[in-house]
Homo-oligomer: A and B are copies of this chain.
């Protein structure tokens, strides 16, 4: 029976590329490892896999009776359905420690760096395994995506150095030019419904017992979203009504390095508690905020613990 390697639901580029890169490493170490995905690819990830000629991983959302290596999260809500009826054999991550547990000891490595592919690169180096050119390309892409070309506060020197090494292996001479090409692909909103855009990168959390959704849409220029912002907000209301206490949608401007945060919540005071700015209307403007993981979720968790 193969071991499936999966990132999180609503996969982003790191969730997909870390799964592919780590599955390759495990195959080289003799494991029958197969990268899978838990949802549709976003346009950025499609661009990346296409660019380096890597096939799209198979969709595999139910863990019943299966073995999984989990990458890029350690949260029940983000892992395959019925994970408790399957088996987790390893976890490789770079997020906060989530609520997944296991009945047996496993290999678990998480590092406070900007991208799971940075951790995977370190494992390749530690084990002395060669990284194929196209795998290096998608790992570099994941680091550029997760760190927003090293501008996110989550970025560490490890990310920058591992990215430089990966660019060399992949034959990418101009990292910045490549990143812009990728971000333009990521910004594609034409022809997509508001629901598709909200769920392009959506994660559910449990904060002080309340179900909270947090989505992020990154674009090279927020003006690209001007025409559809009201439609996004109306759809966000519906998403909230589907059993959530609150939903947050980060509209992140990659170039301005700031986020307009759309909010639908039963408790508007949580926004001021978390960010020091009262919610008046549909959104708040957050300067220098680009990272859901480091700048949105921790202050929200603290605020939810207080209400």
Partner pick for A97 among B96, B102, B294, CB 8 A cutoff:
B102
Chain B residue at smallest Cβ distance from A74? B97
Decide if A162 is an interface residue (CB 8 Å cutoff).
Answer: no
Residues on B with beta carbons closer than 8 Å to the beta carbon of A94: 105
A298 contacts the other chain (CB 8 A): yes
| A108 and B112 alpha carbons, distance in the complex (Å) | 9
Determine which of B98, B108, B111 lies in contact with A110 in the assembled complex, contact meaning CB atoms within 8 Å: B108
Q: Confirm or deny: A277 has a beta carbon within 8 angstroms of a beta carbon on chain B.
A: no
Contact across chains for A109 and B109 when beta carbons are under 8 A apart: yes
CA distance A101 to B93 in the complex (A): 14
Give the interface residue-count category, chain A: 20 to 34
Q: Could you tell me which residues of chain A, from 65 to 109, have a CB within 8 Å of some CB in chain B? A: 74, 88, 91, 93-109
**In the bound complex, CA of A62 to CA of B109 (Å):** 27
A302 to chain B minimum Cβ distance, whole angstroms, is 7
Q: Are B91 and A97 in contact (CB under 8 A)?
A: yes
Give every chain B residue within 8 A of A106 (Cβ-Cβ): 96-97, 110, 112
Output the nearest chain B residue to A91 by Cβ-Cβ distance: B97
Q: Cβ of A237 < 8 Å from any Cβ of B?
A: no
Residue of B nearest to A95 (CB): B105
A98 to chain B, nearest CB (A): 6
- Measured CB to CB, the closest approach of chain B to A32, in angstroms, equals 18
8 Å CB contact of A96 from B91, B101, B109 = B101
Give, as a whole number of angstroms, the nearest-CB distance from A113 to chain B: 8
The residue of chain B having its C-beta at the shortest distance from the C-beta of A89 within the complex is B112
Interface membership of A256, Cβ < 8 A = no
Least Cβ–Cβ distance between A95 and chain B, in angstroms: 6
Name the B residues within 8 Å of A105 (CB-CB).
Answer: 94-96, 110-113, 154, 293-294
